[in-house]
Structure 1
């Protein structure tokens, strides 16, 4: 990505000495910590609220949670589009941050007022529980989907806006830029840890209304912090609809589909890097021609009769290559869907596993089941700084890559490790169920720790690698939208989890008198361990699929005005940092 013109809060060109850098990014990191603290305290313990307060059955409650979280990440695309096209990252975060805040307030009000909830009951004592319906259900769904709309639109812009604070032409800032992604994940981990320990404990002991109120308070603090940094930000101007240039390429390619390719690719429009670029592409910024998706190259074929062609009939190589990049990243995106389906289990069924175990730490202190999800973040607040401080510089000496290992290698490592999270979960669930069914024993909740620790390490690698991978693609004015694609993967993963639960129940219940693996409202009767083994097998197949596509993918070199290609790698001998977001190498961006 070439250097883009940025402005300060008044719309004037930004000053590198006053605007941007880690100081400006720290305000965004503060919002990220507060926002994830708010959404994690709600999302990770929502299944408890839905079952105990709304009185929905287990399988339906799990689907409510996964659909809610899936919607959060689905709406990230909307946030990325609005930011890059019309509003800019700052205003998108501010507007939808207040939408998210209103959802937390409404949830807190419903949890506090008995008239907005079904009557209390105790299913363990055989009481009949009435499921929330009508106006009470409407208030609940309105509240959680206000949260989903706000959080979805805020999430991609936090990462992209923080990344925008680092000037791409400054090597020293670029070193800090590489650190920023790890710092962002550290802020994420701290927010998750506080949410899953302190706030969930308060939800358990002081009531869900107080817990939801704390989520609202944390979000308010984050928004105040965002506003406080206004004078220090570098702001990218919106580019207009980011889909219009993409549509032009497809329209032009389809309209010229019957034309023959020229014998020399240099005859394609825009193949000469010194020619004036298309008005839709920033001056001095060019991508080189590649052989992938050649059918799109027809959009660059000039008609020889001298007829003047408009932008919907003739596109530049750079415009076409940007569309090719978007198509090329789709397989990488798709390979992370199963990973996020595994994540969905840790936020739903694993919480219920914990509820079926002995959660006593001492005779007087009981561990809330939702707090189990804090286990990986307790580890990660130490591992992430160590990773950035020791592993990255060490790996950099061997690989020459500014991030230590390439984003694609980092993603692949995380996908492989995630498989063992489900293996550990399946083994533990079999042990827990056998102990209860055969020996009438309830094992300690801490047996569940390995599956969370393993997945935590996996998420640190995959999530950060994926965000860095998308952000560094050489696509002008689309950083927020590309970051949103990362969250879109989460959405698909959580929706797939809901579909798998329904599908598995349907398949395993046919011809069985005991019902499906997950059809009972009781884990001691269900076969959650078999469901986990199935996910481990899917994860393994997905990993091999990822190896293929990561080898197929390669970065497109970007040329800046003087024709010099940007390279996201370092020269290991000179330890010289170059600009980021593209590379002239066809070097190993794959799994080692």
Structure 2
């Protein structure tokens, strides 16, 4: 709208006056609409798609394991189109045309999604997913003085004949304090409906344990989120200083370097799905090939390699800056090709194919069934928190190194010491990986006991 409606058009290159209030209102309204819409789509659509597969059907369960791979494959295809085709249209045709193309594409997506409505599977809502967690904590605190039984069979669980749409979980030995919430006291009559704030089922206790056990994994994922944040920021700034020419007549926008990361992710997801998983299923007898946390760990290890490669490339770039811009007094971009950034970008993209897809699958699969949309939101929070932590880390490093005489950061990227910053990230990622491996080795996965089939009594 701001590119086609005359009263909303931005100023031209010849004359620019202060924007009117209507310009600001339309601009920020558009940004807020994008934010709200994205917030609704990202955590909900992916989990809704995964809900279309039945976990109790072996064939559908295997297809769901592939679902997250192909979901990210499609996202990367869209990203590649965005930073190449759409970026080209913006630079050579106009922002208005590019925005119109995106609006039409989104409209087609909405219509297509709506047409599938009659065939979707819907998960019935059972109220707030946080309430059972609070009930377990309250019940456990109320019974804190009771000794935890050594035999899990003495703990309360919903009878197999009880109507339920949930899946029952097996008891685990971790966080034994919470088991007290399922202790049956003498005054409890389990033949009648219980007060859930005093007596909860083993399944609810185990679901609470899942959330608490997830916190350390989430925390160790943040360092990977910090590494990812360097792609659309410092990698692009570095690209802007390099030779962007692909041929004599064509050069790429600096932001297009991100497409290499997406390409790396496309390749890794395809190889993982079509080659590694079938092979590892036969070798290890695991239907996933490797378990979820192992997949995430591989991605984290690749982030260490990516940051190390980034540091080495930046050292070479700074040598070119010293040789061409400082000693020879040259102006403009360096003669060094932008494709020197390809190794670090591709390696980080391959790491995304392991860690990011693994995190999506982990936070969807290991949360309680009623919290799967929130589970995808946990994954997204890794990216968001990683971005904020990256900014915080830069501020701290800038403050500390400035006291030492020369800051690692400056307004001009050619005056920065990004090589040192990348080495710091590589060291942090390596240390974080060691902690993660210890946590992953001790982690207990969700263990489904049985599914209670709901019948209407007519059979």
TM-score, scaled relative to structure 1:
0.69
C-alpha displacement at 1:136, in angstroms?
6.2
2:414 counterpart SS class: coil
8 Å Cα contact 1:111/1:117 also seen in 2: no
8 Å Cα contact 2:265/2:352 also seen in 1: no
Residue 52 (structure 1) aligns with: none
1:556 aligns with 2:446: yes
Count of residue pairs the alignment pairs up: 442
Note the aligned Cα RMSD (angstroms): 2.9
Gaps of 5+ in 2: 326-333, 454-459
C-alpha displacement at 1:553, in angstroms?
0.5
Looking at structure 1, the residues matched to 23 and 216 of structure 2 have their Cα atoms a distance apart, in angstroms, of: 42
TM-score, scaled relative to structure 2:
0.87
2:85 counterpart SS class: helix
Are the structure 2 counterparts of residues 341 and 197 from structure 1 closer, same or farther at C-alpha, using a change threshold of 3 Å?
same
Looking at structure 2, the residues matched to 400 and 299 of structure 1 have their Cα atoms a distance apart, in angstroms, of: 37
8 Å Cα contact 1:110/1:139 also seen in 2: no
Cα distance per residue 1:532-552 (max 9 Å; x no partner): 111111111111111011011
2:369 counterpart SS class: coil
2:230 counterpart SS class: helix
Structural mapping, 1:18-57, within 5 Å: none
1:162 to 29, 32, 49: 49
2:38 to 151, 154, 171: 151
8 Å Cα contact 1:166/1:174 also seen in 2: yes
Residue 408 (structure 2) aligns with: 517
1:109 counterpart SS class: coil
Looking at structure 2, the residues matched to 551 and 170 of structure 1 have their Cα atoms a distance apart, in angstroms, of: 28
Residue 311 (structure 2) aligns with: 426
2:168 counterpart SS class: strand
Residue 210 (structure 1) aligns with: 97
Residue 266 (structure 1) aligns with: 153
1:447 to 298, 316, 340: 340
Residue 295 (structure 1) aligns with: 177
Are the structure 2 counterparts of residues 165 and 363 from structure 1 closer, same or farther at C-alpha, using a change threshold of 3 Å?
same
Residue 47 (structure 1) aligns with: none
Looking at structure 1, the residues matched to 102 and 354 of structure 2 have their Cα atoms a distance apart, in angstroms, of: 27
1:172 aligns with 2:59: yes
C-alpha displacement at 1:467, in angstroms?
1.6
Residue 224 (structure 1) aligns with: 111
Looking at structure 2, the residues matched to 306 and 423 of structure 1 have their Cα atoms a distance apart, in angstroms, of: 60
Looking at structure 2, the residues matched to 147 and 234 of structure 1 have their Cα atoms a distance apart, in angstroms, of: 27
Are the structure 2 counterparts of residues 157 and 536 from structure 1 closer, same or farther at C-alpha, using a change threshold of 3 Å?
same
1:482 aligns with 2:365: no
C-alpha displacement at 1:113, in angstroms?
7.1
Structural mapping, 1:184-333, within 5 Å: 184-262=71-149, 264-270=151-157, 274=159, 282=165, 285-305=167-187, 310-333=195-218
From the CA coordinates, give the structure whose radius of gyration is larger.
Answer: 2
Looking at structure 2, the residues matched to 522 and 112 of structure 1 have their Cα atoms a distance apart, in angstroms, of: 37
Looking at structure 2, the residues matched to 340 and 485 of structure 1 have their Cα atoms a distance apart, in angstroms, of: 12
8 Å Cα contact 1:274/1:561 also seen in 2: no
Cα distance per residue 1:550-571 (max 9 Å; x no partner): 01101232222589xxxxxxxx
8 Å Cα contact 2:267/2:350 also seen in 1: no
Gaps of 5+ in 1: 1-107, 122-128, 564-592
Are the structure 2 counterparts of residues 255 and 111 from structure 1 closer, same or farther at C-alpha, using a change threshold of 3 Å?
farther
Cα distance per residue 1:384-404 (max 9 Å; x no partner): 333322221111111111122
Are the structure 2 counterparts of residues 562 and 380 from structure 1 closer, same or farther at C-alpha, using a change threshold of 3 Å?
closer
1:435 to 320, 341, 346: 320
- Mean Cα deviation higher: 373-382 or 154-163: 373-382
Cα distance per residue 1:42-94 (max 9 Å; x no partner): xxxxxxxxxxxxxxxxxxxxxxxxxxxxxxxxxxxxxxxxxxxxxxxxxxxxx
Residue 394 (structure 2) aligns with: 501
C-alpha displacement at 1:247, in angstroms?
1.2
Looking at structure 1, the residues matched to 123 and 420 of structure 2 have their Cα atoms a distance apart, in angstroms, of: 49
8 Å Cα contact 1:428/1:447 also seen in 2: yes
C-alpha displacement at 1:343, in angstroms?
0.9
Residue 365 (structure 1) aligns with: 250
Looking at structure 2, the residues matched to 324 and 379 of structure 1 have their Cα atoms a distance apart, in angstroms, of: 36
2:294 to 404, 409, 416: 409
Looking at structure 1, the residues matched to 160 and 59 of structure 2 have their Cα atoms a distance apart, in angstroms, of: 32
- Structure 1's consecutive aligned runs of 4 or more residues displaced over 6 angstroms after TM superposition are 110-116, 129-138
Are the structure 2 counterparts of residues 144 and 517 from structure 1 closer, same or farther at C-alpha, using a change threshold of 3 Å?
farther
Looking at structure 2, the residues matched to 131 and 499 of structure 1 have their Cα atoms a distance apart, in angstroms, of: 33
Looking at structure 1, the residues matched to 396 and 161 of structure 2 have their Cα atoms a distance apart, in angstroms, of: 55
Are the structure 2 counterparts of residues 439 and 460 from structure 1 closer, same or farther at C-alpha, using a change threshold of 3 Å?
same
Residue 529 (structure 1) aligns with: 419
1:541 to 428, 431, 437: 431
